């Protein structure tokens, strides 16, 4: 079932209000065609910044998708992350039609938050993970730890991370947003068992992408 248009992510208000108000003034001055285009842009942004409620009844050891979109890679993580205890990587690509609100894959404590400026390579390219603007977050939960990157794409112009070191988050909680097409890479410890496949569609805060193996 299609996600409803409400509730709405507050980051989207300028993108909706500016073309809508500008279109109103242009309509009054007789520029009906341009006004219609601006209203269409406003409606697209209204859809893009939707923030539907999400819940999951998955077990305590389940790791949920941090983003809506398609799994484009399940691969070994970069060497630095493997050395930090996260040798597995799941990459989820978000098209402009997906919900772009990101959600915590597990519940726990935020132990690391880093933001890095960068280029604007298409988000589906492998190099985007390291070279594009991104925010890196590490979470430590009772069953295990994970990390993820919010990665800007060729169209995306800003990564918004709502978390700070020391924050406590609930699994499925909203943790940020990436404006327009983008990608999220999820990094898993060796004891995590991946349950999705390349090409599978995910919903943030709902789809189980991996499990911590029971002791």
DSSP string over 138-168? EEE-SS-EEEEEEEE-SS---EEE---TT-E
- Domain 62-212 sits in CATH at 2.70.70.10
From CA 175, how far away is CA 101, in angstroms rounded?
Answer: 8
Output the six-digit token pair for 118: 């960068």
pTM higher than the cut 0.85: no
Structural domain spans, the chain = 10-48, 62-212
Look at the alpha carbons of 119, 149, 187, 140 in this order and tell me if their dihedral is positive or negative.
positive
pLDDT of residue 130: 65
From CA 123, how far away is CA 185, in angstroms rounded?
Answer: 10
pLDDT of residue 8: 66
pLDDT of residue 134: 87
Tens place of pLDDT for every residue, the chain, 215 residues?
344 445 767 776 787 788 888 989 888 888 898 889 988 887 877 777 778 888 889 998 999 999 999 999 999 999 999 999 999 999 999 888 888 899 999 999 999 999 887 666 555 566 556 667 889 999 999 999 999 999 886 555 578 899 999 999 999 999 998 876 688 999 999 999 999 999 999 999 999 999 998 65
With residue 109 as reference, give the H or E element that holds it.
strand 108-116
pLDDT of residue 10: 76
From CA 38, how far away is CA 6, in angstroms rounded?
Answer: 21
Mapping DSSP to helix (H, G, I), strand (E, B) and coil, where does residue 210 land? strand
Given the residues 91, 129, 145, 182, the one annotated as active site: 182
From CA 203, how far away is CA 101, in angstroms rounded?
Answer: 10
The reply to whether 116 belongs to the active site is: no
């Amino acid at each position: 079932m299609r996600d409803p248009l409400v509730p709405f992510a507050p980051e989207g208000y300028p993108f909706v209000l500016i073309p809508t108000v500008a279109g109103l003034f242009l309509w009054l001055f007789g520029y009906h065609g341009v006004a219609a285009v601006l209203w269409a842009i406003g409606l697209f942004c209204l859809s893009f910044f939707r923030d539907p409620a999400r819940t999951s009844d998955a077990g305590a050891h389940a790791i949920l998708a941090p983003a809506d979109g398609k799994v484009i890679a399940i691969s070994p993580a970069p060497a630095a992350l493997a050395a930090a205890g996260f040798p597995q990587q799941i990459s989820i690509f978000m098209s402009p039609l997906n919900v772009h609100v990101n959600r915590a894959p597990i519940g726990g404590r935020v132990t690391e938050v880093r933001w890095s400026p960068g280029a604007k390579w298409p988000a589906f390219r492998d190099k985007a993970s390291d070279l594009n603007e991104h925010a890196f977050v590490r979470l430590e939960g009772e069953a295990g730890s994970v990390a993820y990157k919010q990665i800007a794409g060729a169209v995306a112009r800003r990564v918004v991370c709502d978390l700070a070191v020391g924050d406590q988050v609930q699994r499925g909680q909203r943790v940020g947003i990436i404006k327009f097409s983008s990608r999220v890479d999820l990094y898993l410890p060796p004891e995590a068992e991946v349950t999705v496949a390349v090409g599978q569609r995910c919903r943030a805060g709902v789809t189980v992408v991996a499990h911590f193996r029971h002791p």
